[in-house]
Amino acid sequence: MQNKCDSLINSLKNADQSIGNARIKSAKLNEENNLITVEIISDVAVPSDSVIFLEQSIKNNLPKNFNVKVECHKSIADASILKRAIYHFIVSYYSSISHTVTVDDVCIFNSANKFIYEIKVNDFAYNYLARTAFIAELNEYLFRNYTNTVEGSLKMTIKSEEPAVYEEYSVNESELTESSVRRLKVLCVEKTCDDVVYDMATYIVDGINELGTVYFAGVVETIEEKVTKNGKPFYVITLNDKTSRVSGRFFTADKNKLKKIQKISEGSNIIIRGENELFNEHVNLTIKGFHFCEFPNNFIPKEKPSKPVPERYAIVKPKQVESVEQSDFFSGVASLPQDVLNNVYTVVDIETTGTDVVNDKITEIGAIRIENGKITQEFHTLVNPEIPIPARIVELTGIDDNMVKDSPKLEEVYADFFKFVNKTTFVAHNADFDFRFLYNAGKKLEYVLTNEVLDTLELSRKKLPFLKRHKLNIVCEHYGITFHHHRALSDAYATAELFLKLKREK
């Protein structure tokens, strides 16, 4: 269907030049009502009469029982948009190597009215991607989403992110302190089915998607004997180490090894050496050897250390605040307590799809930096939550699906927020809500917020006990603070001013 529509659109460009460099983004058939919805992007805003012309032309080329709806959008990308789009494509469609690539590894050049991209990858990712249709698929993705002419290539760099292979009985733990991959030491290793003995294992949750040689330990949940198409036996073993579980296959024609694996039963404690390899874009574990051991009974997984604060902002860069109103905001700065003048604060507000920290998503982040009692910077971004925004939330915030569809995902901008809030006191109104959302979201991305938290809701209850209610709009109204409710940056500004007003209260 899409190829047929492509040919038709190309023939229509000469008939109606007002559609510009139009192309098909998608064509979807609803079989219930025989409606074909065709989404078209162009480098110009397509007039409504041209949309009607397109609908009729497409309909004339289809069987009579089909209806057509055309949706047109102007879509021209600049270098920064293409950079984010390429990184988004890698994360979405080539997740197995996405951990080896950052946004900064995507370079965009403008040459002869077209964009040239270059993606820097390590040797492992390069060798893998070179065997796939990665470049062709990426170019097709960009073609379907943007009207610019885009070409690109891979560039292999010398950086290496191959997992380490352990040859000795024990690993020097001091060499691992900088790694974000956590490891545990098992006890009483009984050499069983491998030439090399080892007692250090990676937490399953950290290593399950790491390619190359891996070491896992835990309790055997299941062991199942199966047979290949050629009639050769193999075993599927599932391990659990309290952080996650992983299943791996063990193949051998060695009768001695077969006898040893038959000693494993549910509840056995083992440590395995294996290879994580890609197959059909999924990571599969093949067990190469194993030993019986004692898994620590009192094992409590260590909290995963946070990734370091990025050296520079990638997508969302703070803006310096030079506002005429600021002098009105902070007249009488000298009356502020010394602790406020000596500390740095980040006043934060977020908008979300709901109040469920586990299932709802962030749609907007607004943050204000206060230094020496004055607002100095602002940080703001819309966020694509990747789930529909409920109607009640749209009514409340004004943020709908269309507003965020081209915005970056949270994993693309969280590092920038993490950098902005670093080494500051986290301030918010009803701070538990904002901090829990951002903490949980960051933890999944391996960024752990450790900021001291200050809640202006609690502070207002303490300083203004005569107010019956202490919602942000009510307390702001008490001080005459301009308040535009339920947009993150506006709320953050109002909360910042409120914070300083409250701190002046005796």
The SS3 call for residue 419 is helix
For residue 394, what are its two tokens?
């749209």
Decide: 293 and 198 in contact? Cβ < 8 Å. Answer: no
Decide: 375 and 492 in contact? Cβ < 8 Å. Answer: no
3-state helix, strand, coil in the chain (%, to 5): 35, 30, 35
How would DSSP label each residue in 199-232? -EEE-HHHHTT--EEEEEEEEEEEEEEEE-TTS-
- Rounded to whole angstroms, how far apart are CA atoms 295 and 299? 8
The SS3 call for residue 471 is coil
- Rounded to whole angstroms, how far apart are CA atoms 143 and 5? 15
Q: Has 486 been annotated as catalytic?
A: yes
- Rounded to whole angstroms, how far apart are CA atoms 441 and 452? 18
Q: Which of 73, 380, 478, 486 is catalytic?
A: 486
Number of CB atoms found within 10 A of residue 382's CB? 21
Tokens 């308040």, residue located: 483
Decide: 187 and 296 in contact? Cβ < 8 Å. Answer: yes
Cα Rg of the chain, angstroms = 29
End-to-end CA distance of the chain: 71
Number of CB atoms found within 10 A of residue 300's CB? 7
For residue 59, what are its two tokens?
């309909």
Tokens 């050296």, residue located: 311
Ramachandran angles phi, psi of 476, nearest 5°: -65, -40
Residues with catalytic roles:
486
